[in-house]
């Protein structure tokens, strides 16, 4: 294994009823809470009422920051920071998915910083030598794993860049995770969020080193868990076991545990983020379109690992197959899974225009960790193969 340092500062409270049980005590040290949420799903499923009731009973002043969009923008971050400053907010409570959590991480930084956080922390890695506003999160949809890392992916609309940074200081102080809160997530979002989990795991699994290491073993178990539990949750959206497993799979994929000792590839994410910057497409859907095609481009450079993926994740028997045949069968199984769970399979379906492909391809970051380093020309080829 490669050398590493591991820390994860977020304290997790997981399970049915955890918000009722712990939110009061977690918000105790603070007086003015910024309640941040998205487009209103929490008002329809009862979560808003439950959370505001607890905060009111605890005597908090509530400042609402609503309308955080999927693929949160830098302008929205600035709006939140201004609101937090003007109202002397001393704690942010993000209630939602990756978009709300990411936006709030950036707000927690921007509210305590006089300069331009995009320039100083997202354009390039910055140094946080001050305390961001304390942040707690209540997760309502599984997918990004943002609750247990310092990552925040923000879209700068003017510059047409969607990019993330992971600052350990932006790890939420606490995460409340009640799987029943995810019962109301529509099927389309549940499957795209679950594919995001799978993508996070695959992007780590398909990277050096490949010799025996505990991270790869954990990842195979996690991938099987996502596949199995997503199938079960599609059958019964209120299957508590399936929803809890998906919720924890999502955290496990992005709480840094599986990345220890691994190099990590982030190429599909780099490509998807730029598709998002140009078209505002759904994150998990973009990843689903890209992954099989991307893997058909790189599998030969990581053949034994792709063969192992086919056997250990998809249960495909070797039966005398060569590594190459097995690897391709594994990628086919992934593509078939994507199709069966109803995710899009072409960029056209995502609303991307053919005449945008080159500009988007040229804007993508190149990952250092993949088995085979991409070029902008090859990314364009991948986009063209994914188009329709």
Shortest Å distance, C-beta 178 to ligand NZQ: 10
Q: Classify 232 as helix, strand or coil.
A: helix
Shortest Å distance, C-beta 259 to ligand NZQ: 12
Q: Classify 233 as helix, strand or coil.
A: helix
- Give the 3-state DSSP-derived string for 359-371, with helices as H, strands as E and coil as C: HHHHHCCCCCCCC
Q: Classify 14 as helix, strand or coil.
A: strand
Both tokens assigned to 96: 């939602």
Q: Classify 342 as helix, strand or coil.
A: coil
Distance between CA atoms of 197 and 202, rounded to whole angstroms? 9
Residue closer to ligand NZQ by CB (options 143, 292) is 143
Site string for ligand NZQ, 124-163 (x = CB under 6 A): ----------------xx-xxxx--x-xxx----------
Residue 375, Cβ density class (10 Å: 0-12 exposed, 13-18 middle, ≥19 buried)? exposed
The partner in contact with residue 143, picked from Zn ion, ligand NZQ, none with C-beta cut-offs of 5 to 8 angstroms by kind, is: ligand NZQ
Q: Confirm if 269 and 287 have CB atoms less than 8 A apart.
A: yes
Residue closer to Zn ion by CB (options 121, 266) is 266
| DSSP per-residue string spanning 111-171 | TT-SS-HIIIIISS-----S-PPPEEEEE-S-SS-GGGS-EEEEEETTTTEEEEEE-GGGS
The reply on whether position 196 binds Zn ion by CB under 5 A is yes
Q: Which residue number places its CB atom closest to Zn ion?
A: 196
Which one of 16-24, 155-163, 190-198, 345-353 is the stretch in contact with Zn ion (CB under 5 A)?
190-198
Q: Which of 245, 254, 256, 352 binds ligand NZQ (CB under 6 A)?
A: 254
Which residues between 178 and 237 bind ligand NZQ (CB under 6 A)?
181-182, 184-185, 189, 193, 196
Q: What are residue 143's phi and psi, to 5 degrees?
A: 165, -65
Q: Binding residues for ligand NZQ, how many (CB under 6 A)?
A: 35
Round to the nearest angstrom and report the end-to-end CA distance of the chain. Answer: 41
Site string for ligand NZQ, 93-112 (x = CB under 6 A): ---xxxxx-x----------
Residue closer to ligand NZQ by CB (options 185, 374) is 185
The reply on whether position 39 binds ligand NZQ by CB under 6 A is yes
Shortest Å distance, C-beta 185 to ligand NZQ: 4
Enumerate binding residues for ligand NZQ (CB under 6 A).
Answer: 38-42, 45, 70-71, 96-100, 102, 140-141, 143-146, 149, 151-153, 164, 181-182, 184-185, 189, 193, 196, 254, 269, 283
Enumerate binding residues for Zn ion (CB under 5 A).
Answer: 196
């Amino acid at each position: 294994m490669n050398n590493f340092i591991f820390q994860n500062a977020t304290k997790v409270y997981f399970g049915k009823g955890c918000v009722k049980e712990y939110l009061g005590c977690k918000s105790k040290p603070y007086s003015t809470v910024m309640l941040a949420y998205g487009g209103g799903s929490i008002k329809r499923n009862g979560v808003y009422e439950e959370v505001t009731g607890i905060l009111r009973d605890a005597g908090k002043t509530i400042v609402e920051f609503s309308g955080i969009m999927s693929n949160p923008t830098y302008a929205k971050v600035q709006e939140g920071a201004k609101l937090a400053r003007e109202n002397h907010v001393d704690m942010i409570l993000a209630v939602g998915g990756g978009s709300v959590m990411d936006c709030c991480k950036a707000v927690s930084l921007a509210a305590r910083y006089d300069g331009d956080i995009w320039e100083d922390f997202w354009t390039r890695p910055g140094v946080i030598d001050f305390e961001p506003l304390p942040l707690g999160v209540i997760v309502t949809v599984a997918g990004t794993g943002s609750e247990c890392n310092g990552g925040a992916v923000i879209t700068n609309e003017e510059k047409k860049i969607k990019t993330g940074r992971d600052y350990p200081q932006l790890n939420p102080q606490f995460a409340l995770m009640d799987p029943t809160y995810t019962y109301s997530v529509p099927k389309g979002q549940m499957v795209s969020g679950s594919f995001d989990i799978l993508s996070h795991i695959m992007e780590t699994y398909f990277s050096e080193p490949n010799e025996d290491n505990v991270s790869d073993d954990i990842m195979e178990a996690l991938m099987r868990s996502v596949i199995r539990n997503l199938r079960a949750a599609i059958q019964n959206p209120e299957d508590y076991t399936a929803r809890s497993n998906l919720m924890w799979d999502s955290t496990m994929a992005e709480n840094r545990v599986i990345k220890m000792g691994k190099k990590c590839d982030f190429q599909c994410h780099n490509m998807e983020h730029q598709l998002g910057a140009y078209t505002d497409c759904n994150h998990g859907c973009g990843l689903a379109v890209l992954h099989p095609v991307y893997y058909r481009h790189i599998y030969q450079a990581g053949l034994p690992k792709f063969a192992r993926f086919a056997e250990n994740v998809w249960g495909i028997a070797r039966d005398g197959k060569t590594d190459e045949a097995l690897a391709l069968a594994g990628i086919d199984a992934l593509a078939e899974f994507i199709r069966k769970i109803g995710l899009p399979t072409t960029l056209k379906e995502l609303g991307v225009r053919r005449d945008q492909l080159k500009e988007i391809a040229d804007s993508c970051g190149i990952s250092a960790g993949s088995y085979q380093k991409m070029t902008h020309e090859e990314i364009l080829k991948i986009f063209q193969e994914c188009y329709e």
